[in-house]
Chain A
Amino acid sequence: MTVPNITRMHETNMTSTRRFSLHTFLLVALFGLSGVAAAQDPIKIAFIDPLSGSFASIGNSGLKQVQFAAEYFYNSKGGVLGGRKLEIVPLDNKQSPTDTQIQFRRAVSEDIRIIFQGNSSAVANTLNATISRHNRRNPGQEVLQINYSAVDPILTEEECSFWHFRFDAHAIMKLNTLTDYIAMNPDIKKVYVIGQDYSFGHVVADNSVRLLKEKRPDIEIVGTEFHPIGQVKDFTPYVTKIVSSGADAVITGNYGADMVSLAKSIIDSGLNVPIYTFYAVYDGITATLGEGGKDRIFLVHNETSNPIPTEERKQFLRAFKAENPNFDVTQPRIINALQMVVAAIEKTKSTDPYDIALALEDMRFTNLSGEEMWMRGTDHQIFQSLHISMHTDEGIEFDADNSGYGLRTIFNVPAEETVVPTSCKMDRPRR
């Protein structure tokens, strides 16, 4: 059935979620709408990410991107499966595992079977466990988890699940690329690793030490340091330690305010060494680092930044910017994920999560940048070329935070070289 006053998707998320089963029920009862052709039903996709609270800027920016992509690629062109619109239902989890579970139950309650989620591996891990349990206990009501950003390797290793697909390179893949790049630079002799004291920070530290040892035995790790997340007021004491260790490069997995504060303290101390990061861009970070971070903040990520390789993607970026002047396309992988999920729906002519999952397995797909991506069937991990980019204001066609600064890609690793083995032993449901 269709509720007549469903609002257009790019209106506020207030309106697009204002739907309760009771509400729907009343409308159906009053107007007898249940007979409307099923072909016109929207395909609902839940977007569970922080939309309020301190992490909301990341969640809201992701929401804008997925909503825009749904509109741009499908809804404005007549929809999917012969006329069905995509409807992105934003559900706010406040980046809390508990609220994620609450919103997951809401999604199930509204019969939404596809869930996009990206922020925080802790949330992704608990959602993964929740969905596995739910799907096992409620056959016929399965739900699919589309993870577009959580990089904890465990999700495609020990904890891998048939119902989970990751559209971002995991931490070790990214570190492979990062250490390849560092190993190429003969000037780097001493490396300092600093990170937040939680699983991702430890994964980054352990693996960068291991990989550097393999690739460049002459590089000395002069320090590994962990600090509590979001508790450090001033990073200068840490930087003092970095300076006195004689490091000529710093690796960090920090994100958010911890990333900015660390980078600012390093810049302020006059320590002129490259900083290799995962998340030092967008959401105000680029603008804050500005001139001080120029040519020394490096980032590993999975889609080229400037120069943008294809006209197709440039058009998309411009159209996005025209509609959302205060936002950037910070995570092209959300768009990749959406496109691949829709490709799977179109291929199987079904919106059943089981069919979509089977179609996604080993799917090869050419993304907006003209790169081929491969979703490995054994562990549901995406493989695409990985890149190192630099924070600068030269040669930037598409900047970040409207600051004039942005990322310029300087190093590429083709998709086939990013493939890593997996220990995943997947429980495959039978139908």
Chain B
Amino acid sequence: MVILQTLVKKFGIWVAYLAVLLLLPQLFDSILAISIYNQMAIAIVFALSYNMLLGQGGMLSFGHAVYFGMGGFLGVHTLLMIENESVYFSVMWVPFIGGLFGLLCALFIGSFSTRKAGTVFAMISLGIGELIAASSLIFVDFFGGEAGISGDRTFGPTFFGVDFAQNIQIYYLAAIWTFIATIFMYLFTQTPAGRMANAVRDNPIRAEFIGYSARRVRFISFCAAGLFAGVAGGLFALNYEFITEENLNAATSGRVLLMAYIGGLGYFIGPIIGAVLLTLMNTLLSTYTDLWLLYLGILFLLTVMFLPRGFAGFIMMHQVAWLRGRLTSLIKPYLITGLPALVFLLGVVTLIELIHTEDETLSIWGLSLTPASVPTWIVLIAITGAAFYGIRRSLPQLREAWHAANKPDGEGN
């Protein structure tokens, strides 16, 4: 019984993770849903690899897409080689090849870029990112110019009759790869190298004192991050069967930073949350409004300002209260502040959409609003303003309840 409990405690979360990954297609199985799952799987691996740099190693990179893209480009080239039979193995190994190439690139670039952390590292990563993105348009043979290169994943030996023609088959493959990559990335955090990465991040000088070369530790993290970014790139190549310059340029590098940050740096699960959230925003929110990038920008800035540890950090903030069994005492104050906050949010979004629309009527939240009518504006502004006032009024109570819930036992009330 005790053994079982330990097992559940140790591996339960992983079994649950695998189960969720594998059961998702049972929940929604439309082509759209599968396509979103595939994006999520790729994004999760990519964001986790970014977290190895920034969250665990303290290296802010503006060029992480280079390794993702390089893995992807070699992935597509591998598909092409399988197609014209210069190599013979199943396409399911493409992410592995992508990972190896990502590692190779990281070995080379990391050899000089990891000497310093901080701003110097950030600037080198920016410069290298720009250089590689620019070269990708110049070296047409390997990168295919702005149209990129494309392949076909249905060649080569099948895997027990599975030819990977359908996206759902690719999803199961991607889910397994994501699971394996996640496990290895987690295990990395448990190795001495992973632990030392944290130490170097927090205080490189002290780390050097106990005998570790900060540069070497950064280099190892950097290479591992490059490897897994390459795996994500290989998954991309399998899923989309093409890759273009945009997959290694600054925009992609920026997006992975957003994912990791919004999800929560420093927590292993953070980037997973961020990847899921941003993928959903990218695919679903963008159909509702062409202003979604504006909302994304606002969300990001608010996260940096008010939730510096991201969504994962926000969840983990409640650990103490939960352990003390006081989480329930927070429900009421949360509702009292959350309700006006929700109204405020909806009000602001409605106002933004109302300013933006060029049509005579705006249909939003099931309402039909007329931008030309003054009363509409007055009512909206009044509601939004009232909600803001409501937040301001209820915030001190929430803060108090929060402190009460986190107070150590025995201090009395």
B247 within 8 A of A: yes
Contact of B289 among A14, A20, A101, A129 (CB under 8 A): A14
Q: Do A22 and B28 touch (CB < 8 A)?
A: yes
Chain B residue with the shortest CB-CB distance to A60: B290
- A86–B268 alpha-carbon span in the complex (Å): 49
Which of B30, B247, B290, B291 has its CB near the most chain A CB atoms (within 10 A)?
Answer: B290
Most buried by A among B34, B286, B293, B359: B286
Cross-chain contact of B166 among A122, A137, A199, A229 (Cβ < 8 A): A137
Residue interface mask A133-148, B partner, CB < 8 A = 1: 1000100000000000
| Stretch of B144-152, B216-224, B324-332 on the interface side | B144-152
Proximity string of chain A (10-27) to chain B, C-beta cutoff 8 Å, 1 when within and 0 when not: 111111011011100000
Given contacts A125-B147, A197-B138, contact A108 B31 (CB under 8 A): yes
User: Does B198 count as interface, using CB distance less than 8 angstroms?
Assistant: no
Contact (A17, B357) CB under 8 Å given A98-B246, A106-B35, A109-B30: no
The smallest C-beta distance from A171 to any residue of chain B, in angstroms, reads 14
Inter-chain contact A199/B146, CB cutoff 8 Å: yes
When the two chains form their complex, are residues B147 and A326 in contact, meaning their CB atoms are under 8 A apart? no
Q: Is the CB of A52 within 8 A of B359?
A: no
Q: Decide if B246 touches A96 in the complex (CB within 8 Å).
A: yes
Give the shortest distance, in Å, between A111 (CB) and chain B (any CB): 10
The answer to the question of B160 belonging to the interface, with a C-beta cut-off of 8 Å to chain A, is no
Complex alpha-carbon distance, A228 and B360, angstroms: 41
8 Å CB contact of B363 from A14, A110, A129, A228: A14
Q: Is there a chain B Cβ closer than 8 Å to A379's Cβ?
A: no
Q: Which of A14, A121, A126, A129 contacts B288 (CB 8 A)?
A: A14
* Given known A101-B240, A122-B147, contact A52–B137 (CB-CB < 8 A): no
Q: Are A15 and B32 in contact (CB under 8 A)?
A: no
Q: Which of A15, A21, A96, A198 contacts B137 (CB 8 A)?
A: A198
B290 and A52 contacting across the interface, CB-CB below 8 Å:
yes
Q: In the complex, what distance in Å separates the CA atom of A51 from the CA atom of B154?
A: 33
Alpha-carbon gap, A186 to B247, bound state (A): 47
Which among A52, A97, A197 is the interface contact of B293 at CB below 8 angstroms?
A52
A15 engages B240 (CB within 8 Å): no
| In contact, A13 and B166 (Cβ under 8 angstroms) | no
Q: Mark A96-136, 1 if CB is under 8 A from B, else 0.
A: 11110110011011100000000011100110011001000
Interface centre among A14, A91, A152, A198 (most CB of B within 10 A): A14
Instruction: State whether A12 touches B287 (Cβ < 8 A).
Output: no
B interface footprint on A21-40 (CB within 8 Å = 1, 0 otherwise)? 11000000000000000000
Contact with A along B280-296 (1 / 0, CB 8 A): 00110011111111000
Closest B-chain residue to A325, C-beta based? B358
A53 contacts B by Cβ under 8 Å: yes
Interface residue total, chain B, C-beta cutoff 8 A: 45
Q: Are B361 and A129 in contact (CB under 8 A)?
A: no
List CB contacts (< 8 Å) of B1-58 with chain A. Answer: 28, 30-35, 39
A46 to B: closest C-beta gap in Å: 12
Asked if A7 lies at the interface with its beta carbon under 8 angstroms from chain B, I say yes
**A56 interfacial contact with B, CB 8 Å:** yes
Chain B, residues 335-347, CB within 8 Å of chain A (1/0): the string is: 0000000000000
A92: interface (CB < 8 Å): yes
Q: How far, in whole Å, are A60 and B152 apart by their CA atoms in the complex?
A: 33
**A residues within 8 A CB of B166?**
137
B165 interface residue, CB < 8 Å from A?
yes
CB of A231 within 8 A of chain B? yes
Task: Give the docked Cα–Cα distance between A7 and B368 (Å).
Answer: 11
B267 interface residue, CB < 8 Å from A? no
Residues of B within 8 A of A110 (CB): 32
Contacts known (A21-B30, A97-B148); A228 close to B134, Cβ less than 8 A: yes
Which residues of A152-185 are within 8 A (CB) of B?
152
Known A-B contacts A102-B35, A109-B31; the reply to A52 vs B242 at CB < 8 A is: no
Choice from B145, B242, B357 contacting A12 with Cβ under 8 Å: B357
- Chain A nearest CB from B291 CB (Å) reads 7
> Are B364 and A14 in touch, CB under 8 angstroms?
yes
Q: Contacts A102-B39, A198-B137 given; indicate if A17 touches B146 (C-beta within 8 A).
A: no
B contact residues around A13 at 8 Å (CB): 290
Contact of B287 with A56 in the complex, beta carbons under 8 Å: no
- For B353, the chain A residues whose CB sits under 8 A away are 14
Contact present for B247 and A197 (CB under 8 Å): no
Distance in angstroms from B367 CB to nearest chain A CB is 11
- Name 12 A/B residue pairs within 8 A (Cβ), A-sorted: A21-B30, A97-B147, A99-B282, A102-B282, A105-B32, A105-B35, A105-B167, A126-B150, A126-B244, A129-B150, A228-B134, A326-B358
Q: Give me the interface of A with B, judged by CB distance under 8 Å.
A: 7, 10-15, 17-18, 20-22, 51-53, 56, 60, 91-92, 94, 96-99, 101-102, 105-106, 108-110, 120-122, 125-126, 129-130, 133, 137, 152, 197-199, 228-229, 231, 326
5 closest A-B pairs by beta carbon, nearest first, are A109-B32, A105-B35, A109-B31, A122-B147, A52-B290
